[in-house]
Amino acid sequence: MNDLCNEKVMAVAGKHQVLIFVHSRKETAKTARAIRDTALEKDTLGRFLKEDSVSREILQSHTDMVKSNDLKDLLPYGFAIHHAGMTRGDRQLVEDLFADGHVQVLVSTATLAWGVNLPAHTMLGRAGRPQYDSYGEGIIITGHSELQYYLSLMNHQLPIESQFVSKLADQLNAEIVLGTVQNAKEACNWIGYTYLYIRMLRNPGLYGLSPEVFKEDLTLEERRADLIHSAATILDRNNLIKYDRKVDISRLQIWVALLAITI
């Protein structure tokens, strides 16, 4: 895939910066070197960084400051890497040099996608930040076996499912602190306003609900009560709340009492 990646990079060399996402830390340096070495071999490196450019001088002056040996090797050529294994200083330097337009090709893991302001043209989803760019372009390079999956995503054929259950205890704790949830009935009603509830109604099988259960409980009250019970039990076990499940008129009579929570 490096050959195809190099082809796409060369198509915009000298026009736009390029941000490449790879799956692992090791792949960042491997991919960056492959593209750089190809450019050296074909004598096309000047399309990335001109010999007399100010950027070349700036990159050279920063090379001795970095800790990463891989970054030391790549930086003078206008290439850089970024991953969580690098020191914070190295990562910040790379981000700054790329944002200032000195680094032309940046190979990174997904960590760079989280909360970093960069030019939109180099990154899917950054076109909404007009102070950097007004147009974003992304290319997915994958194997033939994964092609249909990505086409389905691009054509909106795969629904986005909720991951809320895995964080339900944390969210319930927050609602209790805010005072919006004071008992199980309110907690069950609260779940009814979430995307999780919408997806459970639309795709019950994916959330462990059999057709028989769904027919008997169209609004999923019992399922919501079970979810609240599980989340409240976790909070009680960690001494975040005082929880007591009382069996009285119905399974929904589960009362959650807040003792004291300090954040």
Q: Are 256 and 247 in contact (CB under 8 A)?
A: no
Pair 110, 223 in one domain: no
Specify which residues 245 forms β-bridges with.
254
Q: CA 249 to CA 226: how far, in whole Å?
A: 16
Same domain, 24 and 88: yes
What letters, b where the CB count within 10 A reaches 16 and e where it falls short, cover 18-53? bbbbbeebebbbebbbbbbebbeeeeebebbbeeee
- Given a cut of 50, the residues of the chain with pLDDT beneath it are 120, 125-129, 247-263
Residue 93 sits in the same domain as residue 144: yes
The two three-digit tokens of residue 100, written as one number: 């200032």
Containing structural domain, residue 15: 2-154
pLDDT on residue 128: 45
Closest by CA to 226, choosing from 208, 211, 212, is 208
Residues 60 and 130 in one domain: yes
Q: Where are the beta strands (DSSP E) in the chain?
A: 18-21, 79-82, 105-108, 242-245, 254-257
Residue 85: CATH number of its domain: 3.40.50.300
Which pLDDT score, from 0 to 100, does residue 72 have? 94
pLDDT digits (tens, 9 = 90+) for 250-263: 333 344 444 444 33
Whether residues 133 and 196 fall in one domain:
no
- The answer to whether residues 172 and 228 belong to one domain is yes
Question: How far apart (Å, rounded) are the C-alpha atoms in residues 98 and 100?
Answer: 5
Residue 262 resides in a domain:
no
Q: Tell whether 25 and 127 lie within a shared domain.
A: yes
CA 135, distance to chain mean position in Å, is 21
Cβ contact 173:246 at 8 Å: no
Q: How many domains does the chain have?
A: 2
CATH of the domain at 191: 1.10.10.10
pLDDT of residue 119: 56
| The pLDDT value given to residue 245 | 67
Q: How far apart are CA 172 and CA 190, in angstroms?
A: 9
| 118 and 247 both lie in a single domain | no
pLDDT at 29 (0 to 100): 93
**Structural domain includes residue 142:** yes
The confidence score (pLDDT) of residue 260 equals 43
